[in-house]
Amino acid sequence: MAARSSWPGGAGCCGALTHHLGQDGHAFARANILAWTREIEADGLDAIVINASGCGTTVKDYGFMFREDAELAEPARRISALARDMTEIMSEIGLLPPVQPMKHRVAYHSACSLQHGQRIIQQPKRLLQEAGFDVVEPPETHLCCGSAGTYNLLQPDIATRLRDRKVANIESTAPDFIAAGNIGCITQIASGTDLPVVHTVELLDWATGGPKPPALTPSPAG
């Protein structure tokens, strides 16, 4: 069965970063809830698929955020129930067979928002293994990389120490490159290492016939 995807009008930022800054992110969340509810009522939705785990954790929390809102409590609960990380969906529908041997050693960084916030731990690693990658887990996988939403902006000294510890643990596994499922982690880790850092789904796409991730392609000057 062919899948249909859409981006409903009125949907936008999930509100996570505003919330991290101690401000009210409900306005962003409310706009998404209303936009996605209109989509459900018009055409139906099987899932709301999210490829940034920080956003996914927040959207899955909408039901709690609006639990006392007489108008939005039920729509928010429904939206949270439909939210899926990309690797959840891919694990459910199955990965296409790899089109080429992937003899690369990949260090998988488990974002806090994914492993602690959503309890998604095994699916990304299993998908990478099914795609043919040699997946290694760095020591202290439970520790934060220092990004943590806006923590690296608000507490740069501590965030840098966390990053350096994370990078040292990753580099100790001697990987070819690093995979992660959250843009904040990708940016934070990349600022402390020369190893390429790419989104997990970029690697899965590459292994099953998609383009090689740009981060793995040397620049003409390099």
Give the C-alpha separation, 183 to 54, whole Å. 8
Task: Among 89, 112, 147, identify where a domain stops.
Answer: 89
The neighbour count for residue 14, using CB atoms within 10 Å, is: 24
pLDDT at position 1, please? Answer: 34
pLDDT at position 6, please? Answer: 59
Could you tell me the residue range of the domain that residue 112 belongs to? 96-216
* Angle at 192 (CA atoms; ends 139, 129), nearest 5 degrees: 45
* Nearest Cα to Cα of residue 182 among 148, 216, 134: 148
Written as six digits, the tokens of 200 are 């997990």
Average pLDDT by consecutive 10-residue portion of the chain (222 residues)? 57 83 83 93 89 93 95 96 95 91 93 93 96 95 90 88 97 97 94 97 96 81 46
Cα–Cα separations (whole angstroms), residue 6 to 48, 70, 82: 10, 28, 15
Task: Among 63, 89, 115, identify where a domain stops.
Answer: 89
pLDDT at position 114, please? Answer: 92
Q: Determine contact, residues 167/189, Cβ cutoff 8 Å.
A: yes
Q: Residue 149, class by beta-carbon neighbours within 10 Å (0-12 exposed, 13-18 middle, 19+ buried)?
A: buried
Give the C-alpha separation, 58 to 156, whole Å. 23
Residue 10 counted as domain residue: no
Q: Determine contact, residues 132/101, Cβ cutoff 8 Å.
A: yes
The number of folded domains in the chain is 2
pLDDT at position 7, please? Answer: 60
Which CATH number do you get for residue 171? 3.40.50
